[in-house]
Structure 1
Amino acid sequence: MTRRWQPTAFLVAVGVLGGFWIGSLPGLAFFVVLVVAAAIVSPRAFPRSVTDAEARAAQAADGRPIIYWRPGCPFCLRLRGSLARQAGRYHWVDIWSDPDGAASVRTVADGNETVPTVVTVDESFVNPSPQLVRNLH
């Protein structure tokens, strides 16, 4: 569970230390920029994650794609940002908090944990373009 928050904690710590080291107004600006970046890469920036088993069961019922992701992944952030309000239409699985989700990604991505990986009922896509994902559902 702590692994999920490492990128966020790292950015906040660098912001605090850098802010004190730089000092004054530029230090405050540095701190604010890194705290905003930490909020963007935090697990909270994504829709609620479910387990791999929950996502597969829900997909069987509603046919919506599953998106496997991990905190701090720039490609996942790009995909999440481009989906905007449509992000809730997908089932999100954090592979750092669900070992079964990580195993599912490895089966699709030639043994690697490459994210984002998107799985539909019929196909799987490793690091697909945001446009492709928007067109899936």
Structure 2
Amino acid sequence: MVRRWRFSAVAAAAGVLLAARELISGSIGGAAILLAFFLLLAFLVSPLYFPRPVTATAPRPVIYWRPGCPYCLRLRTALGRRASRFQWVDIWQDPAAAAIVRGIADGNETVPTVVIGGAGFVNPSPRWLKEKLRQA
């Protein structure tokens, strides 16, 4: 559980330290901007930014991800509100999901890995995934 929040904690701590340094040098505005930037970054790489897994009655495409992954963040951001159409599964929280990803990605835990209709796709481009959504 701690590993899931590591990147967020580092970003938040860096923001606090850099903001404190700016405050000491007398730049209140600079400190506020730095703190806001790093807290936003901490939120974006945290598990809070990704949709929670839900039990779906109908099969939904699955996106396997992990906190701190820049490619997962890029995909999540590009999908916007469409991200809720997918089942998001954190491979650091679910060992069975990590095994599925290793099976698709030649033994590696490469994320994001998307499973649509039983076929797995490793690190697909957001544009490709949006096109798949339009076709479905």
TM-score, normalized by the shorter chain, greater than 0.5 = yes
How far, CA to CA, are the matches of 1:136 and 1:44 in structure 2? 26
1:66, distance to aligned residue in structure 2 (A): 0.5
- Between Structure 1 and Structure 2, the one with more helix by share is 1
1:34 alignment partner in structure 2 = 38
1:46 alignment partner in structure 2 = 50
Cα deviation per residue 1:36-64 (whole Å; 9 max; x = unaligned)?
111111111010035xxx6xxx4xx6232
Which of residues 62, 66, 70 in structure 2 aligns to 1:70? Answer: 66
What's the TM-score once normalised by structure 2's chain length? 0.88
Task: Identify unmatched segments of 5+ residues in structure 2.
Answer: none
How far, CA to CA, are the matches of 2:111 and 2:61 in structure 1? 14
**Any conservation in 2 of the 1:65–1:136 contact (CA below 8 Å)?**
no
Q: Which has the larger radius of gyration?
A: 2
Aligned residues, how many?
A: 129
2:7 alignment partner in structure 1 = 7
2:126 alignment partner in structure 1 = 130
Structure 2 residue 95 is matched with structure 1 residue 99: yes
Task: Identify unmatched segments of 5+ residues in structure 1.
Answer: none
How far, CA to CA, are the matches of 1:18 and 1:131 in structure 2? 36
1:2, distance to aligned residue in structure 2 (A): 1.0
How far, CA to CA, are the matches of 1:103 and 1:22 in structure 2? 45
- Percent of counterpart pairs with the same letter? 50
1:133, distance to aligned residue in structure 2 (A): 1.5
How far, CA to CA, are the matches of 1:64 and 1:131 in structure 2? 19
Cα deviation per residue 1:10-32 (whole Å; 9 max; x = unaligned)?
10001111111122321221111
1:117 alignment partner in structure 2 = 113
Cα deviation per residue 1:102-127 (whole Å; 9 max; x = unaligned)?
11100100111100000122311000
